Amino acid sequence: MKKRKQAKDDFNLVVENAFDFFKKSLAEFDKEPKYSVIHFHAAIELIMKARLLWEHWTLIVIRPETANLKSFRSGDFQSVSIKDAKMRLESIVQDGLSQAEYECFLRLSDHRNRVVHFYHPGNTGDKTALEKIVAEQCLAWYHVSRIFERWSDQFQSYKKEIAKIDKAMHKHRKYLKAKFGALAEDIKKLKDRGITFSVCPSCGFKSFGEDSGDEPILDYECLVCKASETGLLVECPECGEKNTLIGEPWYECKKCNHKFDEQDVQAFLTKDFVYDKHDPDRSIVAHCEECDGYEMVVQVNGTWICSQCFTKYNSEEIGRCDWCNSLSTGNLENSYFMGCVACEGKSGWDSNKDD
C-alpha cells in the first residue's frame, strides 16, 4: 500500500509540474516567447513521462537497467526524451502516440532546440515566426487534449486543470487572428469551389477545410494552423443517419445518440464487398501498424484506411506477413522471423515453444 501511494504521489507531482509549465508558457509568451517555447516543450515531455511513470518509475530513466530508486527520489538521473518515451509507450505500455502526434511534438522539440542551442527568429519579434510558434502550440495542445481523453484513467482527476489550460489556449490564439483575416479571400474562393469550412479543433477559427472528393473518406486541413485530419462519412447502423467522424470512430450519432465504434465503421466501409469464390486468397482487411489494430485496415475507393485510427495507406504499404500469411502495414521485410502486427514470427514461435 505504501509503495502504491508513493507511486501515485510521484505521478501527481510530475503532472502538476507539467501544468505549471503549460501555465508559465502561455503567461510569458507576450514578453518572453523564447521561454514560452522552452516551457511548453517541457510540459509536453512531462506528460509523456507521467504516463510512463504510471506504469513503473524505471520507465522514465534513460537506462532502466541502471535505475536506482534513491537516485530517482532525489532527481539524480537522466530521463527519457520524447523520442524515447514514444518507443516505450508503444513497446512496453502498448498505448503509444499516433504519427501525427509524434511529428507535432518533434516540431516543438525543433523550436526548443533552436532556442536553447542557437536562437529562434520568434525571439527577435518576427511576426511570421511568432504565428508559427502559436500555431504549433495550438496543434500540440489539440493532440494533448486527445491524449488526455485516451488516457482518461490516468488523468481523470485533472479535468479542471485541463479545462483551465484549454481556456488559456483560446486566449493564446489571438496571435493567429490577423492570419485568419488575411486568409479571408482565399477561404471565400475555396467556398465558391465547393469546399466546406468548419471550426478548426486546434486553433478555433472557421478555417478547417473539408475535401469530400473521395467520399466516404474526408480530408481536412486548417489554412491557419495547418492541422490536418482524416474523416469518414458513415451511416448510423441504428437509424441510417449520415455522420461525419473526424480522426476517430468514437462519436455519438447526431440523431439517435448511438455510440459508434471501430466495428461500426468497418461494417459500413465493407458493406458492399462481394466474396469471390474464385479468389479465396483475396482479403479485405489488414492489420494497422499505427494503432496496432487487428484487421482494422480496409480498402475504400482504392485507398486503404484504418477503421480505428483513420490512418490512410496506399496499396504499396500493404503486404503479406511471411509467417502468419495475413495482410499488414509496416515493414515486413523480415516478417518470417520478426512477424507483423498480429504475430511475433518464427522467433516468437521458437521462444514460446522453449517456454
142-184, pLDDT tens digit by residue?
Answer: 899 989 988 999 999 999 999 999 988 888 888 888 889 989 9
pTM of the predicted structure, to 2 decimals? 0.73
Average pLDDT over residues 215-235: 94
Lowest mean pLDDT among 87-96, 211-220, 226-235: 87-96
205 and 168, same structural domain? Answer: no
Same domain, 255 and 106: no
Give the domain-ending residue among 242, 269, 296. 269
- On the question of pLDDT at 208 being above 50, the answer is yes
Residues 159 and 193 in one domain: no
- 102-135 confidence digits (pLDDT tens): 998 998 888 888 877 655 554 555 677 778 888 8
User: 273-277, 288-292, 298-302, 303-307: which range is least confident on average?
Assistant: 273-277
Query: Are residues 171 and 53 part of one domain?
Result: yes
Q: What is the pLDDT of residue 24?
A: 94
pLDDT of 3 above 70: no
In-domain check, residue 242 = yes
274 lies in a domain? no
Domain match, 17 and 136 both: yes
- 24 and 87 part of one domain: yes
Asked whether residue 38 is assigned to any structural domain, the reply reads yes
Predicted confidence band of residue 249 (pLDDT cuts 50, 70, 90): very high
What is residue 120's predicted lDDT score, i.e. its pLDDT?
Answer: 52
Q: Cα separation of 19 and 158, whole Å? A: 10
> Does residue 275 lie within any of the structural domains?
no
Claim to verify: residue 69 and residue 160 sit in the same structural domain: yes
Q: Does 4 have pLDDT greater than 70?
A: no
Instruction: Tell me if 279 is assigned to some domain.
Output: no
Q: Give the chain as a 3 state SS string.
A: CHHHHHHHHHHHHHHHHHHHHHHHHHHCCCCCHHHHHHHHHHHHHHHHHHHHHHHCHHHHECCHHHCCHHHHHHCCCCECCHHHHHHHHHHHHCCCCCHHHHHHHHHHHHHHHHHHHCCCHHHHCCHHHHHHHHHHHHHHHHHHHHHHHHCHHHHHHHHHHHHHHHHHHHHHHHHHHHHHHHCHHHHHHHHHCCCEEECCCCCCCCCEEEEEEECCEEEEEECCCCCEEEEEEEECCCCCCEEEEECCCCCECCCCCCECCHHHHHHHHCCCCCCCCCCCCCCCEEEECCCCEEEEEEEECCEEEECCCCCEECHHHCEECCCCCCEECCCCCCHHHHCCCCCCHHHHHHHHHHC
Q: Among 179, 212, 237, identify where a domain stops.
A: 179
For residues 82 and 221, state if they share a domain.
no
Cell numbers 484504418 correspond to 306
Domain hosting residue 81, numbered range: 2-179
Judge whether 125 lies within some domain.
Answer: yes
Residue 316, domain member (yes or no): yes
Residue 280 lies in a domain: no
Is residue 283 predicted with pLDDT exceeding 90? no
What local confidence, expressed as pLDDT, does residue 278 receive? 46
Whether residue 147 is found in the same domain as residue 236 = no
Number of domains in the chain: 3
Of residues 95 and 160, more confidence is placed in 160
- One domain, residues 312 and 240: no
Same structural domain for residues 8 and 36?
yes
Return mean pLDDT, the chain: 88
Question: Does residue 277 carry a pLDDT above 80?
Answer: no
Strand-pair category, 327-328 with 319-320: antiparallel
Domain closes at, from 149, 164, 179: 179
Q: Are residues 73 and 219 in the same domain?
A: no
